[in-house]
Structure 1
Amino acid sequence: MKLNGIINYLYEVGLLKHQKRTGWWRMMVKDPESVAEHSHRAAVIGYILASLEEGVNAERVAVLCLFHDTSETRTGDLSWLNQRYIAGAKEGERKAILEQTAQLPQVIAQKVVALSEEFNSRVSREAQLAKDADLLECLLQCREYAMQGYVKAQSWADMCYAGLRTETAQNLARECLIADPGQWFETLQENPSSGSTDATN
């Protein structure tokens, strides 16, 4: 097997660590999260959402989330506002996926393309949960930006909530909207030695 194509693909996907999520600039966020950061937490959320459901493949939901934005190494991160003025944006995204995965062995390329098509079609329960995980990650990021003083963040979080389609995601999102994003650390500060035999570590 020739590995050059796989190596090229892996380096290309690495660009997602530097590709900023451009929608946040409209909230005046100076240094917004990267696409890779977004995709990572979306995958974690997707796995957890799916694990709360009966008969859903949690691993597949996580993988759908991991791959859902890989075309953005070539298209850039196009927010809904950008897409409003770019004819054929979705077709361009599909073309990017096809050309991007052409570097891979055919059997792997077919799987990655299938993941993209499944995510975009929302036909499967897994794809529906993956899309909700995508929105829920955005909602959490809004809450974190709100703590940093970005005044529009809460209204953006409300828009993300309105887009959720599964009851499981809606229930989780309602709690996220009222929770303090820093509470996990404050709990540790209240009892720093909990779970450790050596409080100095």
Structure 2
Amino acid sequence: MHLALRHSPTRWVSSNDSGEPAGGTSAVLEYETAETIEARCAKDADRLECLMQAVEYREAGYQRVGGWIESSRNQIQTAFGRRLADAALQVSPLAWRDR
């Protein structure tokens, strides 16, 4: 198999003889372009993780995490992701320990 570099709209990627992205590169491209619902959900999961981490820092007393929380929340694309983000912002990150 021959691998070659080609330029995509966003960067150089390796491709095989057929011009298709090589190996796991296609999954990365799918994630980065967010053209599928699966890719949008994966991106939302990453953003939710960042948001929840910022909320945990805020709960621990760190200041100046508001921008981090806001930018993470604003980048969430799916309705379900936004519902999860809203819930994360309303409930203490340690509430699960009290159940």
Length-normalised TM-score, structure 1: 0.39
Displacement, 1:133? Answer: 1.1
What are the equivalent positions in structure 2 for 1:13-32 lying under 5 Å apart?
none
Q: Corresponding residue for 2:4?
A: none
Displacement, 1:155? Answer: 3.2
Q: Corresponding residue for 2:7?
A: none
What are the equivalent positions in structure 2 for 1:44-123 lying under 5 Å apart?
91=11, 98=14, 110-123=22-35
Residue number among 63, 66, 69 corresponding to 1:151 in the alignment: 63
Q: Which runs of 5+ in 2 are unaligned?
A: 1-9, 15-20
Q: Which runs of 5+ in 1 are unaligned?
A: 1-89, 99-108, 188-201
1:133-185, Cα deviation, whole Å (9 max, x unpaired): 11111000101111222111233112211111110100111000111011111
Counterpart secondary structure, 2:22: helix
Q: Does 2:28 correspond to 1:126? A: no
Change in Cα spacing, 1:178 to 1:155, as seen in structure 2 (3 Å) is: farther
Letter of the structure 2 residue corresponding to residue 113 of structure 1:
T
- Which structure has more helix as a fraction of its residues? 1
Q: Corresponding residue for 1:174?
A: 86
Length-normalised TM-score, structure 2: 0.74
- Which structure has more strand as a fraction of its residues? 2
1:61-104, Cα deviation, whole Å (9 max, x unpaired): xxxxxxxxxxxxxxxxxxxxxxxxxxxxx63xx56xx5xxxxxx
How many Å separate the matches in 1 of 2:75 and 2:26?
24
Counterpart secondary structure, 1:110: coil
How many Å separate the matches in 2 of 1:178 and 1:124?
29
How many Å separate the matches in 2 of 1:130 and 1:180?
24
Letter of the structure 2 residue corresponding to residue 115 of structure 1:
A
**Count of residue pairs the alignment pairs up:** 84
Counterpart secondary structure, 2:48: helix
